[in-house]
Amino acid sequence: MNYVTHRPRLDREFSLRTQHVLGSDSLYSTFSSVDGTVDRLGYYAYFNHRQSDGFRQANSDYNLNTGSAKLVLDAKTDSRWVFSFDGYSEEHGEPGGLTLTPGANAVQYQLDRDASSRLSDRFELDRYFASLGWEKDFSEDSLLKVTGWVLSTSQPPPDGRWIWNSCDGQCQRHRESGVLYPRRGGAPAARLGVG
């Protein structure tokens, strides 16, 4: 993934932006950022939080926190060092699918489109990413970037889904196999790369 964030403002030392949204199903969403450049150092940071009870009767709630910080040394010159750190954490319910076909244990869309068919399946993910790079502008249309990065993320089972049994929230159960895993998947996976 090549995710590009804003560069720090060069025209002032400090800038603040914040946005807050309230909505149905107990939605609360906020995004706040600061940025600027002081002498040789530019900075940009943001925090985003979203939460809701969800639109289904049960287990469709979610809670998401994400943030980023970027420092740019010599932001106003044609070559610069860039350090970035990003964090992401989410937890949400998996309310299950609805069906149009009647059957045993079927939760039918026509009868109640807000119904939940899975009352205790949960998904949780934590991801952290840091990078250090050097950039050189050769012209308005030419840029060279050399970047090293490291990624740490919770390690899911092979199909990519973590589920925990709602009995006490201290264990995780893989949906199909029924195998219990330590909460949050035990030790995180770490990757180091250069790009």
Residue 139 inside a domain? The answer is yes
- Tokens 């973590």 — which residue? 162
For residue 189, the model assigns a pLDDT of 45
Question: Long-range contacts for 108-114 (Cβ within 8 Å, ≥24 apart)?
Answer: 112/57, 114/55, 114/56, 114/57
Nearest to 156 by CA among 128, 186, 112: 186
Residue 74 inside a domain? The answer is yes
- Strands of the chain (E only): list them: 15-23, 27-38, 41-52, 62-73, 79-93, 122-139, 142-153, 171-173, 180-182, 189-194
Residue 7 inside a domain? The answer is no
For residue 174, the model assigns a pLDDT of 41
Structural domain of 73? 22-97+106-194
Residue 3 inside a domain? The answer is no
Residue 48 inside a domain? The answer is yes
Length of the chain, please?
195
Residuewise pLDDT in 10s, the chain (195 residues)? 556 677 899 999 999 999 999 999 999 999 999 999 999 999 999 999 999 999 888 889 999 999 999 999 998 899 999 999 999 999 998 888 888 888 887 888 888 888 888 888 888 888 999 999 999 999 989 989 999 988 888 755 455 554 443 333 443 444 444 433 333 444 444 444 444
Residue 125 inside a domain? The answer is yes
The number of domains in the chain is 1
Residue 14 inside a domain? The answer is no
Residue 10 inside a domain? The answer is no
